[in-house]
Amino acid sequence: MNNYDVIIVGGGIVGAATFYKMQKRFPDKKLLLIEKMPSLASHQTGHNSGVIHSGLYYKPGSLKAENCVKGRHELVAFAKEYNVPHDVCGKVVVAATHQELPSLHKIHSLGIENKIEGIELINGDKLREIEPECRGEAALWVPCTGIIDFVDATKKMVEVALSIQPLSSVHLSEEVIDFIQKGEGTSVMTSKSTYFAKHLIVCGGLQADRLARKDGVKLKEKVVGFRGDYYELNDDAKHKVRNLIYPVPNPDFPFLGVHFTRMTNGEIECGPNAVFTFKREGYGKTDFDLADTIDALSYAGTWKLFFNNMKFGINEYRRAFSKRLFLKTLQHLVPSLTMDDLRSGRSGVRAMLLNTDGDTRDDFRIETTDRSIHVLNAPSPAATASLAIGDYVAEEYTRKFG
């Protein structure tokens, strides 16, 4: 009963999409998906901004660029077929000042190269037609960007996969402790039992590097977590944001900046900032885990990241503990916002596979051993690209293992 053809570790949207795609491609195979939390999508997937990304910002030809565009089309089609709450509402990327115009034009060129359909440079007057409370010199209109309930999408992918093969299983509240090579396969030891499979696929998110090392993968890099805090607009201020408003990202900072997002439940979120977290799965501002902290601060890449982004890091931390500073950043795009318009919202943590030189802007990274596949780096836009990543993993499985 504990023998499977393939075991997939990790019940976020990437693990769920891989489970779904593998089961579609190999309907006769018996698969097991293991997730340590009581429910699917409990970490990065359930704490992100819920945006269906267009694929606008990524280096042409990269896995991020290609899989984001491909995955976006698949995700929207999947959402339509299975009634997952979503809305392809479009977004604006705003150059608030004249100095930001060159960066806006560069992003536009990237979008053209990445074949993002329908993008258009617009002036300040056209911007105000789309987002009346937003102010800027110019903007990029991206009509194919949208919003979705990623948690619902994750659960639906798993549900559809199980309907294909009833012998496949999903085990929740079960943490993977170790991998032991045994014969031609791998024994997976969990907090509850031991399972065996010929092949293993690991989509570990915030624990990807640790799980890879347990499986014998030689990995120089480490996962470092960055917490992002959100505010929400109070009901009487929601009219100030219709859909999605993004700033022109600072090219020297490896995040997209604080933005406005209408969620599928009608709430308007503002954020996130990006601060180093002292606990990989810690969502509170003062959350702390000694082992996680030692792991991160004993790694040279972490210190290089700090030194390379000292000014940004200090500003992000100040904003994390100051509503007034957070508001000031939001007013850069929507000047009419006031302190009374904002209430504290949720937080999320993003896993970044940090290079030894402190660079966080690595591409998606998926590595294959003689018996397993590891998704080592899948930050944003991985949720949007999840179905394409699932296809990529299934292709790798077919190529490597037949």
Phi/psi of residue 391, each to 5°? Answer: -65, -45
Kindly report each contact of residues 126-130 with a partner whose C-beta sits within 8 Å and lies 24 or more positions away, as own/partner. Answer: 127/92, 127/94, 130/90, 130/92, 130/242, 130/243
**Is residue 119 one of the residues assigned to a domain?**
yes
| Among candidate residues 390, 381, 309, 385, the one with its CA nearest the CA of residue 75 | 385
pLDDT, tens digit (0-9, with 9 covering 90-100), for 69-102: 999 999 999 999 999 999 999 999 999 999 999 9
119 shares its domain with 156 = no
**How many other CB atoms sit within 10 Å of the CB of residue 389?**
28
Question: Which residues of 56-134 form beta strands (DSSP E)?
Answer: 86-87, 91-95, 120-123
244 shares its domain with 340 = yes
pLDDT, tens digit (0-9, with 9 covering 90-100), for 128-181: 999 999 999 999 999 999 999 999 999 999 999 999 999 999 999 999 999 999
Residue 325 burial (C-beta neighbours within 10 Å; 0-12, 13-18, 19+): middle
Element (H, E) at 214: helix 208-214
**Is residue 107 one of the residues assigned to a domain?**
yes
pTM of the model: 0.95
**Is residue 208 one of the residues assigned to a domain?**
yes
Q: Domains in the chain: how many in total?
A: 3
| DSSP reduced 3-state for 30 | coil
Kindly report each contact of residues 282-290 with a partner whose C-beta sits within 8 Å and lies 24 or more positions away, as own/partner. Answer: 282/225, 282/227, 282/349, 283/47, 283/227, 283/346, 283/347, 283/348, 283/349, 284/347, 285/227, 285/229, 285/320, 285/321, 285/347
245 shares its domain with 226 = yes
Cβ-contact 262, 147 below 8 angstroms: yes
232 shares its domain with 336 = yes
CATH number at residue 202: 3.50.50.60
Q: For 321-361, give the DSSP string.
A: T-HHHHHHHHHTT-TT--GGGEEEEEEEEEEEEE-TTS---
Taking 50 as the pLDDT cut, the residues of the chain under it are none
Q: How far is CA 266 from the centre of its chain?
A: 21
Q: Where a domain ends, among 108, 143, 178?
A: 143
Cα 150 to Cα 162, 268, 383: the distances in Å are: 19, 16, 7
187 shares its domain with 279 = no
211 shares its domain with 235 = no
Q: What residue numbers bound the domain in which 175 lies?
A: 3-46+151-221+362-401
**Is residue 53 one of the residues assigned to a domain?**
no
**Is residue 230 one of the residues assigned to a domain?**
yes
Give CA–CA dist 289/279, Å, rounded: 5
What are the structure tokens assigned to 283, written together?
């969502």
| DSSP reduced 3-state for 392 | helix
Residues 6+ apart with CB under 8 A from 290: none
176 shares its domain with 41 = yes
Predicted local confidence at residue 252, as pLDDT: 66
From first CA to last CA, the distance across the chain in angstroms is 24
326 shares its domain with 388 = no
Give CA–CA dist 109/36, Å, rounded: 42
| DSSP reduced 3-state for 35 | coil
Residue with tokens 């987002």: 131
HSE-CB for 308 with a 13 A CA cutoff: 16
Predicted local confidence at residue 254, as pLDDT: 60
**Is residue 113 one of the residues assigned to a domain?**
yes
Query: Buried (b) or exposed (e) across 164-197, using 16+ Cβ within 10 A?
Result: ebeebbbbeebebeebeeeeebbbbbbeeeebbb
The 3 state secondary structure assigned to 98-119 is: HHHHHHHHHHHHHHHHCCCCCC
Cα 167 to Cα 16, 54, 115: the distances in Å are: 17, 36, 41
260 shares its domain with 330 = yes
Residue 69 burial (C-beta neighbours within 10 Å; 0-12, 13-18, 19+): buried
